[in-house]
Structure 1
Amino acid sequence: MTLRHLPLAALAALATTQPLAAETRALLIGVGDYEYLDADLRGPVNDVALVARTLIGRGVAPEAITVLTTAPDLLPEGVVVGVPRREAILAGLAEAAEATGEGDTVFFYFSGHGSQAPDLDGDDQGGYDEILLPSDAKDWKGAIGAVENAILDDELRAAAESIMADGAALVAVLDACHAATGFRAMPGKGVARYVEPVMLGIPEAMEAAESRPAPALAGDFAFLYSSQSDQRSFEYPHGDPEDPASWYGEFTRVLTGVMAATPDLTWEGLLAATMDGMRKETATATQTPDGEGTLMAAPVFGGAEAGARLRVDGGLKAGLLAGLTLGSEVTFYSAAVGGAALGTATITGLTALDATLSALPEGARYAEVTSLAPAEATPLRLSAPVVADGADYSAITEELARLQAEGLVDGVAWNAEQPDRALVLTGGRLAVTGPDGVLDPDGPGSSPRFGAADLAEALPRLGQVVRLEGALTQAESAAKGGFSISGPPVKVEAEMIPADCDGTTQAGIRPAPESVPHCAQLWLHIRNTSSKAQDVTVLYRDKSFTISAIFPGSGTSNRLNFNETVPVGMLMLNEGEGVALEEVIVLSTPAEDGAPRSALTGLANDGQSRGAGNPMEEFLTAAAAPPGESSRNFSFSTAPAPLTVTRIPVRITPKDD
């Protein structure tokens, strides 16, 4: 059978913001250190600790959580601890099945490596079993016809059947991948959670059994995957890349953030919010979460306190993962809700999960962020260029050396060992990958490419784009708590109007398809669904890292009252080779009574002059500035107004397609 279509049963009980009435048991596996394989990861041990804390926060009893990890010292008190070996994982699933019944829920989570092995019983239509690699996984053993100690999707199916036999439900979350995508992965900031079959000694010429469909499992289920079946899943550092404690799976980090901040969620809503959060992190992400199940529309168990104050215990029990920044001011309280302020302090140090403070008043147990500082500027780390073919690249390498020697690109760290973006010399040009290091994720030519003459302008624009992405994420997360079931205050629907380059148009397609052809028109229909007026800005980021302001134009009002709609149109052009992966960014902020309109067009980097800014624009501009610029001293004097960011990926096929 195929793991991605394994109906691992999900939640049957209704969620509540009170401690759970029906029993919820969790089995969490985080494999960081492999005993026999040279495939260690840094993130899984941090992931399982984060998931355990998140489940406890939603009402799951610590003693009902079993964590199999190679770093037990990171775990919250009270959880049951074990090692993430094959026998322990299968025993944990069996114990969960034995201990639960009608109305109960089993939560299964795995963070570590996945891979593929030949399907010997024919139930995987792709010819391969998808496997998870416990800490004691070894390589291929011909005598048994399998990767020794790996866990097959067939075994997970049997465990699911056992759990569901007495009416219990199973929620499964998988932060690993099984995709041999064929993409060339260059040295990037992200580390893939996939082990190539060749590394496991799996025979390339081994024939799989004839494929036949596996029967569907009976029961309710919700299964969340960290990436699509043809993609890889990545972990990234949040803080010092040399510190193992800073690494987290991207999917797990965003998913737990939504679970911790949002009281009322469905599994479908959780997946949607996680996808949205990951997309907002970077415009070039190649990892898209997926999910399936009969209970995707059912509530997530437990609850959370939206907008809850941060816990204080010797320091602030929140850090970089919560969007906190150095220099921000917090106000202290003795209670989680209400009460008089006890004093203020400044954040002086940060890790992924904790913050140190300039002062701590007596009796302080909770805190709120009352003055937000822009995130500490870090250089954009670029790899040394990797040569992928035998073309002459002397002009490009000489230009890169000149830019570096003369300091002509602000805020860049050259030749980084753990880069934010990898540079690849291919086809006579310089290609730029995303943070995952994947070259051409959407086919040949889909990674941006530049000649020597383009670099002096393209690389500074790249730095601006990367910093602006982080600034938007910071401002949005700091200004609101959690994912709203009602959705964002501004709804955006895209319509594609096919057109010839002479302007001849056809009937529009709404919603717009994922791909649009060269010369097509893309129209956004932006509607304010909230009771409060919204000021709307539309930006466009193209393949060359140019950010253009699309709306509002000069003298145009961008304020939408309740139920008002504005159409915004764009002409899609791709005269180059390969698919152009571009993006529309819709920003909205609530309008204050009597205040002037707030347009964020100054965030563009296309060289067009624009009018005076506003507090949100000034904050974002400061947060997106290169390291060392004086504008970074700006901070909100009060909590920022809510900012909603809607990012719409645009895939433009080339002119000659």
Structure 2
Amino acid sequence: MRHARLTAALVAALWAGAAGAATRTLFVGINDYANSFGKNPSAEASFRDLKGAVNDVVMIRNTLATRWQLPLPAFDPAKGCSSAPDALSVTLTDRCATRAAIVSALTGQILAAAEGDTILFFYAGHGAQVEDRTRTQPDGTSSTIVPADARDGRIVDIVDIDLGRLIDAAVARGVNVVTIFDSCNSGTGTRDLVGEPARAAPQTKPGDNADIRPPPPRPHANRAYRVHLAAAADGEVARELTVDNAPHGVFSLALNEALTALDRPAYADVLEKVRSIYAARQLAQQPDTRLAEQTIGGEGALKALFLGAAPKQQRIVAAAPGTTSTTLALANGTLIGVTIGSAYRVYGSTGDAVRGDPDAALGEGIVSAADIGSAVLTLAAPLKTRTTGLQALEIAHVSGGAPVRLSLLGGEAAARAEITRLLADFTALKVTSDAPDYLLVAETGGWQLRSRSDVAIGTLIKSDELGVGIPDIGRKLVQYFTLLSLPNAAGMAAVKGDAEPMLTFTYDCDDRTLNPPLPMIDGAAAFVGGERMAINFTNGSGAARYAYLFHLSQNLAIKQLATEADLVTQGTTLLRRGIRAGKDPGTSQILLLLTASQIDVSVLEQSGVRSLMSNPLERLLAGTRNGQASRNLDSVGTFAAHIATVRVLPTTSPSGARATCTFNPRP
């Protein structure tokens, strides 16, 4: 199942959190479905009951209560429902885990949570897919969890997008959220390698979601965050397995073992441990290989400590042994702010790096080389211990310049301080008066974003709407500049071959036997408002590439010029027609992004829940939505990108700059 769409969430402030912060929990486990196969002749009835979901809830509850000291009340699976007197913990299994009960319990926890609290939502049961009613998902489907009473013709699954709305509401109230889902979708719901059920139900149709009523936002100072841990990725099944005569989810077994074994880990450490346990169990369960179908996933603030507070704003980069005993290869570079001369301390785990205890460090070094996607750390001495899973924590930064510089002009000191606070978490944005890229100017009734040439961008942000408008500006600036920073000469050199230049622009005339090239003015392809152009790219490399085209306008708008990626094979040309110039004169950018495998670029336009993103470049693009493009990313991966400038001319331009063909109105 695409569990990262089922929202990402984060475990919270317990012993390491803010004073007085509480951890609120919701556990849901469903074996016995009211409308599963053979029970209700009028229901969909094409999926079977499970065996280990309730066992998973009991097991994980016990570990969190004993190993992690969460104050959880006793739970009797035979009763199926449990709520602590203070409602800090709610458990729903089988007949108690109806759609109404799950939605009510999650909404209730959000309403009851104070700023700085954390909500932990663990789900074990069936997962499925529905048609994507928002039309934002690339494959046209959204993921769901299946309540115990769903699929009777009236009651429907709980869709990821609706869960995302609830979790977004929690974060907007200063509440951290963690979701951990052991479920999936395979379209069969039959059995696993030992004859036990997979946690999947067939695809269904979307239904009414009027019962999803997210609580309103509230002012808060807590830097709320989220993490999501998932049992399976797109199109995969989450298997059950019997161990010591007790059925369990394979993912839940590995998670329980990891939570028992690790000492003060970060979420990244938990994820790595779960994957290693799962890999070992997969080998032990051969010769049947269906366990290999399950990919353990996670996303969000993985560098936060498990049951800890919000992660610090610090740069931590995955590292691996270099070419000598005194060098390490850092898995990222200038794109996330790694700069030559910066100092790093090396640790054996993410948790150790987050805590930053010098006594736990394995060594220190200085960055001696860096490019867009990698860097070299030269160590003062060989590491004390050579191990896998190395993480490098930046301890001294040599400025390479923030990707986006924003200057505040005018206004009251209190308003300036509030704007600075609202932008503090945007690690790819710096509020400074030194050579700003953009200006935020105090005007009557609010603040106006302006370019360096004093051109207004967007509408005035009213003084009483700063809490919403300022973060929105931050996200748009970060996302825009992240795309502008993607072009890399090395990646393009491997793609273009003898094809020069990378992109060519022609008129897209009604008579397509004409199509003359656009004139070049000051290095930019130019055309007049209302005219159409076509973009051409030739793949001169020795391999096929997926091509994505984006238009980046002056007002920070980003538009994908095709709804799906084009697979451009070796030696062939991508032709994108019908691109019409806008009415307003000025320059804009065309970004060509090339990858060896498909990625979900819809993250540039979406908000809330995402699909599970295994591609590091996907995670980079998604991270820009929260202003985190310059940090908290282990590896950008391999890609190629190229930027070209186009210029829209006034309609009064001389005839030499105008097309010699005609353009019919847009259909």
TM over 0.5: no
TM range (shorter): 0.3 to 0.5
Larger Rg: 2
TM-score normalised to the size of structure 2? 0.38
